[in-house]
A and B are shown apart, each in its own frame.
Chain A
Amino acid sequence: MKLFDISDWELPRWARWASTLLFALALAALLFQLAVYVHYAISLLRFPFDYDQGEGFELYDTLLHTQGRWPYQDSAVFPFYTSIYPPLFHLLTAPLVLIFGPQLWTGRLVGLIASLVAAAAIAYGVWRGNGSRLPLLGVLCGLAFIASNYTFAIGPLFRQHMTMVMFETLAIVILSQPAEQKTNREDAKDAKKTLPKPFALFASSRFPSQLWIGAALLICAGYTKQLALATVLAALAWLFVRGPRRAVLVGAVMAAVAGGIFLWINWATEDWWYVSIIRANINEYDLAQTFGFFREWFELHAVLALAAIGWLIYETYWSRLSVYSVWFAFALANGALSGKFGAGESYFVTTTAAACVCAGLAFGKLFSPQRREERKESYSFLFAPCASSRFKVFVAIAIPTLFLMQTRLTLHTYTEGMYAPIARVLGLADNSGRGFYDSQGYTQLGPRPTRADAEAGYRMAALAAAAPGPVFSEEAALMFAAGKPVVTNPFVQLVMYQAGLFDPAEEIAMIKRKEFGLVILRAQFYPPPVLAALGANYRPLTEIRMNGFTYRILEPRP
């Protein structure tokens, strides 16, 4: 199988060479971004402390699962801890934590693998969607997903988001397969031959294994992170368009399974599951923040976004809606949730994945010989020019150029060490203050942790280990290193306090009694009364910088 075969296009010799050169450049640029990503991931795998806020608490959730305990509990009582995320990512990571202990690299490795699997699924989906032709387009689209600033930043973190995206992408790619095989009418005819009429609706030909695997993966995505709901709704909406009764049946089965699991966990956690997973996630909403995230996503992914929107319009008005287009539309709309307090750019990773597939299908369509048949259709006047030799030359040059443009839009690289010559040639300067350039501007995530960062972490852990009693720490990994219990989950406390779900009275009482031997603060994501109590009862001991953040260490006032 050739990576990219358009020999039947009969392009002029110069155009063929130019196209090949541009495709090679695009592939090289995206492979460079993959190399930067892997380098970043390896740096994080070796770093034993929190890199992104909240990673250590995800590790603590995982540890609780390995001990057969739920993290969903009453956070108003000591140790003032609960989790607001579903358990599947933690359960997937649990075997590694059981074997190797509470190490952050375990979940980071799971996140890294998930991002690579999602990219491979995108590549496969584009390849299959293009009629198993032009595999290079699939490869470029999968790599474009990895090259996204958002995928890069959060992929190798101990966070559940990328695992959710992996399940979503796998589900959508698998769900797209049955539709390629048979139409509903063909299914119905087959069923009529083999089953009595009342049962024909349940004929196996109408419910191929891919359908159920896809549905199971969607449930997995939802139990990895609640944000997957948009993808679940997209898949069901697409199934509804292709056959309403089948969609209702599949939806009912999914609701029964997912609902049953929900009720079981809620019963096992004495209702704290519902409070933590649902009620605690209803936060303040900022419209300006939503628009800011939308603008940034469009600016960084303009080529993919425009190609995907074009593909959605094409399928809507001139073809049939594929599951990918519906997925893209729902994922894009779901970006509206990014205005929630605490939401971030990660809310657009699913949109990026869907855009990559749709863009790949759109580009593949331009290379498709089927356009000749379309000239016979009534709307041919729009597509007739597409069969001209000039248009073919244009497409053969434009598509790899578009991949190059997209790669420039999301470009990020280190600017020091072995990357310095590349950064110099590309005219890129450090814009993070830590030897890292990112096209989206200053970012907290991306720079590699240094040896000095690790030493700073060990210094804080040593201070915590020497302090009497529990330590009030905003980051859990320091507590694992210090051998201290994990107390509080700051961001969760803050959002639950804002929602009226967290009463800090008991925590404040402990602070006033100075029962915590030490306090370690980073972003100070605690409810205001808790921060006020800390200020009144603890005094600055020292400040330590790690990963560009200043950690404030407080000791009890005399």
Chain B
Amino acid sequence: MLDDAPITKRQLGWLMLAAGALAAVAVLAVDALGAGRFSGLGPAQWQALAGCGLIIVFGLSLLPLGDRPA
């Protein structure tokens, strides 16, 4: 309870991975829910997916940094 410890670099990496993956699923789900204006992926969706990819790569790069505070 007391020890509201800072996030480590590795934990931040996992968080980024999870956030990027969830966001990518959400972007793809836009079509499944019929909310998109385009058939298939629209330009904004591609941009969002590229952003998700960057977040995932960023998360992966943090994993080897261990338990140092982020």
A interface with B by C-beta (< 8 Å) = 183-185, 187-188, 191-192, 197-198, 200-201, 206, 240-246, 285, 287, 290, 316-317, 320-321, 333, 336, 339
Q: Is the CB of A244 within 8 A of B7?
A: yes
Determine the chain B residues whose CB is within 8 A of the CB of A197 once the complex forms: 1-2
The total of chain B residues at the interface (CB under 8 A) is: 18
Report the separation of the CA atoms of residues A246 and B5 in the bound assembly, to the nearest whole angstrom.
10
Q: Is the CB of B2 within 8 A of A243?
A: no
Q: Is the CB of B4 within 8 A of A243?
A: yes
Q: Is the CB of A320 within 8 A of B69?
A: yes
Q: Is the CB of B44 within 8 A of A243?
A: no
Choose among B1, B6, B12, B46 the residue that contacts A184 (Cβ–Cβ < 8 A). B6
Determine the chain A residues whose CB is within 8 A of the CB of B62 once the complex forms: 316
Q: Which residues from 46 to 61 on chain B have a C-beta closer than 8 Å to any C-beta of chain A?
A: 46-47, 51, 61
Contact digits for B27-70, partner A, Cβ 8 Å, 1 yes 0 no: 00000000000000001101100010000000001100100011
Determine the chain A residues whose CB is within 8 A of the CB of B61 once the complex forms: 317
Determine the chain A residues whose CB is within 8 A of the CB of B5 once the complex forms: 184-185, 243
Report the separation of the CA atoms of residues A152 and B70 in the bound assembly, to the nearest whole angstrom.
36
A contact face: mostly helix, strand, loop, or mixed: helix
Once A287-B44, A317-B65, A321-B70 are accepted as A-B contacts, the answer to whether A188 and B6 lie under 8 Å apart by CB is no
Q: Is the CB of A191 within 8 A of B43?
A: no
Report the separation of the CA atoms of residues A316 and B70 in the bound assembly, to the nearest whole angstrom.
7
Determine the chain B residues whose CB is within 8 A of the CB of A290 once the complex forms: 47
Minimum C-beta distance from B66 to chain A (A) = 11
Minimum C-beta distance from B60 to chain A (A) = 13
Chain A residue with Cβ nearest B2: A188
Once A241-B70, A333-B51, A336-B51 are accepted as A-B contacts, the answer to whether A285 and B44 lie under 8 Å apart by CB is yes
Q: Is the CB of A198 within 8 A of B1?
A: yes
Q: Is the CB of A201 within 8 A of B44?
A: no
Once A316-B62, A336-B51 are accepted as A-B contacts, the answer to whether A241 and B12 lie under 8 Å apart by CB is yes
Report the separation of the CA atoms of residues A185 and B47 in the bound assembly, to the nearest whole angstrom.
40
Minimum C-beta distance from A192 to chain B (A) = 6
Which 4 pairs between the two chains have the least Cβ-Cβ distance?
A287-B43, A243-B4, A188-B2, A245-B4
Report the separation of the CA atoms of residues A244 and B4 in the bound assembly, to the nearest whole angstrom.
7
Q: Considering residues B3, B12, B43, which has the most beta carbons from chain A within 10 angstroms of its beta carbon? A: B3
